[in-house]
């Protein structure tokens, strides 16, 4: 397995970021306007969906992030021709889809979580698939048991090898009744990408219904799929014989929007996030307001700002949509260190997502992590030995320190911590942030941050 430093270098290099560290002089409010592109958690899946079409697809608002680069590389080793159109536009031509050579595919092992979603499309197109080791953030065990079970339900034969997973479907894939034990985003996408061309009807219960999944459904419908989203997390898919390419503008990145909103609050700043929309951020906006943040919703984006006065503590439980998204908690925790009183964040989606708080504590925050489900709701992790509830007592003034990015969202929270701290901080392994934040260095510059690049 790659070390964190290798990961950071790989992700940084993929988007042309040649530095490992940023030295930040904190204490300056972030102010100005930035623009969002499409969501990391949709764009990469939309790219995979292009394999299902029998003509090229055009995807707009594709961000320059390393996860997109990695998926592009994987598509190319499978014979998909990927070209760039206008700014932020990718043309994906699947007419040459072929089995990848092991050596080529190995180069992509361990880089992102997306390879597992190639299974259904490749089984339809080629009758076989080989999936290398998966990467993604190290925030828990992240098993793929639901994915494998789903694929077996459709008739795939799954063989686990030391280097990855081999799959075949000698009799083709057939629609199935599938029930997920937990509304997993990835496993729901696995069902969608497999069921659309499977013979017959698929009924998925216990589905995840995140906005990025709904946008993937929009794309599949444009391609010719028949998908019904019922109440109570049930999705019905009627398999069709062929799909065509799509043209689609990707849904904006609501996780990036929430991150910049938290940055505005923690630095007492004022950031207009172009492209952000209210509907997909309702839950975040409620919490942001309760903490004492202010926002103005405009047609072309949302202005997030600190209106003055004291920030207030909150109790949050992360959850599947429409709950408070797990990817929002890390940046917000930095703002909560400045709230007067005791906040609690109960992480119910991943068992180990509080690794990033060690650095905040080193910077002067008062944060204790606990194994118990501290908000009252019992989650899957309550009976185990996982520190999955955090108690944040404030207000505290953070001070500069040398800190190391542990994962994508934790990394962004470290940037915010350094920007809001007194004095100088050095944040290393910043390449990991390039997995999901397009041009974050340029955006920091635009917002008036005081920093130097090093390493």
Bind-site residues for phosphoenolpyruvate = 40-41
**What is the Cα–Cα distance from 438 to 354, expressed in whole angstroms?**
24
**What is the Cα–Cα distance from 7 to 316, expressed in whole angstroms?**
31
Binding residues for UDP-N-acetyl-alpha-D-glucosamine: 113, 327, 349
Choice from 239, 292, 411, 436 touching ligand PEP (CB under 6 A): 436
Question: Residue 187 binds what, of ligand UD1, ligand PEP, none (CB under 5 to 8 Å, by partner type)?
Answer: ligand UD1
**What is the Cα–Cα distance from 44 to 225, expressed in whole angstroms?**
19
Q: Is 155 in the site for ligand PEP (CB under 6 A)?
A: no
Dihedral of CA atoms 259, 217, 113, 48 in degrees, nearest 10, equals -120
* The one catalytic residue among 119, 137, 373, 379: 137
Size of the site for ligand PEP (CB under 6 A): 7
**What is the Cα–Cα distance from 88 to 382, expressed in whole angstroms?**
43
- In degrees, rounded to 5, the angle at the alpha carbon of residue 128 between the alpha carbons of residues 62 and 111 is 40
Nearer to ligand UD1, 141 or 241 (CB): 141
Residue 43 CB neighbour total at 10 angstroms: 27
119 as an active site residue: the answer is no
Question: Residue 146 binds what, of ligand UD1, ligand PEP, none (CB under 5 to 8 Å, by partner type)?
Answer: ligand UD1
Site string for ligand PEP, 349-388 (x = CB under 6 A): ----------------------------------------
Residues 449/74, Cβ–Cβ less than 8 Å: no
Question: Residue 296 binds what, of ligand UD1, ligand PEP, none (CB under 5 to 8 Å, by partner type)?
Answer: none
The DSSP output letter for 363 is: T
- The residue sitting closest to ligand PEP, measured at its beta carbon, is 136
Q: Greatest CA span in the chain, whole angstroms? A: 65
Peptide bond into 123 cis (omega under 30): no
Nearer to ligand PEP, 81 or 113 (CB): 113
The DSSP output letter for 422 is: B
Nearer to ligand UD1, 345 or 401 (CB): 345
Closest distance between ligand PEP and the C-beta of residue 435, in Å? 7
Total residue length of the chain: 455
Nearer to ligand UD1, 10 or 41 (CB): 41
Which residue in 146, 158, 154 sits closest to 171, CA to CA?
A: 154
User: Going by C-beta distance under 8 Å and a sequence separation of 6 or more, which residues neighbour residue 284?
Assistant: 254, 258, 261, 324, 325, 328
Residues 208/321, Cβ–Cβ less than 8 Å: yes
Nearer to ligand PEP, 256 or 268 (CB): 256
User: What is the radius of gyration, based on Cα positions, of the chain?
Assistant: 22
Question: Residue 143 binds what, of ligand PEP, ligand UD1, none (CB under 5 to 8 Å, by partner type)?
Answer: ligand UD1
Residues near ligand UD1 (CB under 6 A) are 41, 113, 140-147, 182, 184-187, 208, 326-327, 349-350
Nearer to ligand UD1, 28 or 142 (CB): 142
Q: Give residues 308-327 in contact with ligand PEP (rule: CB under 6 A).
A: 327
Choice from 123, 137, 379, 421 touching ligand PEP (CB under 6 A): 137
Query: Which residues partner with 270 through β-bridges?
Result: 31, 305
Residues that bind ligand PEP (CB under 6 A): 113, 136-137, 327, 408-409, 436
Which positions are catalytic? 137
């Amino acid at each position: 397995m790659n070390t964190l430093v290798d990961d950071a270098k790989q992700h940084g290099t993929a988007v042309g970021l040649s530095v490992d560290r940023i030295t930040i002089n904190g204490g300056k409010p972030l102010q100005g306007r930035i623009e969002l592109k499409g969501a990391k958690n949709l764009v990469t899946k939309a790219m995979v969906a292009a394999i299902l079409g029998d003509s090229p697809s055009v995807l707009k608002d594709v961000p320059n992030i390393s996860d997109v680069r990695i998926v592009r590389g994987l598509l190319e080793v499978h014979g998909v021709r990927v070209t760039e159109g206008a700014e932020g536009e990718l043309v994906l031509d699947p007419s040459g889809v072929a089995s990848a050579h092991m050596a080529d595919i190995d180069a992509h092992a361990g880089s992102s979580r997306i390879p597992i979603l190639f299974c259904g499309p490749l089984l339809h197109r080629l009758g076989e698939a080989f999936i290398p080791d998966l990467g993604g953030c190290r925030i828990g065990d992240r098993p793929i048991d639901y994915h494998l079970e789903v694929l077996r339900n459709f008739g795939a034969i799954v063989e686990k090898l030391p280097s990855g997973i081999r799959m075949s479907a000698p009799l083709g894939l057939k629609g199935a009744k599938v029930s997920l034990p937990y509304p997993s985003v990835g496993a729901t996408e696995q069902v969608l990408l497999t069921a659309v061309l499977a013979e017959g009807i698929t009924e998925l219960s216990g589905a995840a219904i995140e906005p990025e999944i709904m946008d993937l459904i929009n794309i599949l419908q444009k391609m010719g799929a028949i998908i019904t989203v019922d109440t109570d997390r049930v999705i019905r898919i009627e398999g069709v014989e062929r799909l065509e390419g799509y043209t689609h503008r990707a849904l904006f990145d609501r996780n990036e929007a929430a991150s910049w909103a938290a940055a505005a609050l923690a630095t007492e700043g004022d950031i207009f996030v172009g492209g952000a929309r209210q509907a997909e951020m309702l839950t975040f906006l409620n919490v942001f307001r309760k903490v004492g943040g202010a926002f103005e919703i405009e047609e072309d984006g949302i202005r997030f700002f600190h209106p003055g006065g004291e920030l207030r503590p909150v109790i949050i439980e992360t959850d599947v949509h429409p709950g408070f998204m797990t990817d929002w908690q890390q940046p917000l925790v930095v703002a909560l260190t400045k709230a007067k009183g005791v906040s609690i964040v109960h992480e119910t989606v991943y068992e180990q997502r509080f690794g990033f708080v060690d650095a905040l504590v080193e910077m002067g925050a008062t944060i204790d992590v606990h194994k118990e489900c501290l908000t009252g709701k019992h989650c899957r992790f309550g009976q185990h030995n996982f520190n999955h509830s955090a108690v944040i007592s404030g207000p505290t003034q953070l001070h500069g320190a040398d800190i190391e990015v542990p994962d994508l969202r934790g990394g962004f929270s470290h940037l915010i911590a350094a920007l809001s701290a007194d004095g100088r901080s050095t944040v290393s392994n910043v390449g990991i942030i390039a997995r999901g934040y397009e041009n974050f260095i340029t955006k920091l510059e635009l917002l008036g941050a005081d920093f130097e690049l090093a390493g």
